[in-house]
Amino acid sequence: MTKSDLIRKIKLILKHDNINKAENAGAKQGLEKALEILESNQRDLSGLDELDTTQAKAIAKFAIDFNNMKHNGEFFVALGESIEGKVPDEQFYKKLWKIMDEQNKKS
């Protein structure tokens, strides 16, 4: 997946009605920050402290990893599918929890 593909997919997710549900607030904030990170080609963790939830920080961290070529964007695809109502697989949750645990240790 290219960066432009990923940016396009994130923009599509942010347009989906379900993203505005209260339970998706952290995902929405994280995706908005991820979009900002990708568009500015940010490669460090600056600005993540301003995010309200661990979920938002984890999503934004994936964008930083993508900019550093450590991730191929499949997390965002799985996240978008879950927001659309599709059930993500177990691997998605394992990745999410690993990143969230890393963020909690740094906090």
Per-residue pLDDT of the chain (107 residues; tens, 9 = 90+): 688 888 999 999 999 999 999 999 999 999 999 999 999 999 998 888 999 998 899 889 888 888 876 555 666 777 777 777 776 667 777 777 777 677 667 65
pLDDT at res. 15: 94
pLDDT at res. 88: 64
pLDDT at res. 32: 96
pLDDT at res. 52: 93
Q: How far is 58 from 71, CA to CA, in rounded Å?
A: 13
Q: How far is 107 from 89, CA to CA, in rounded Å?
A: 28
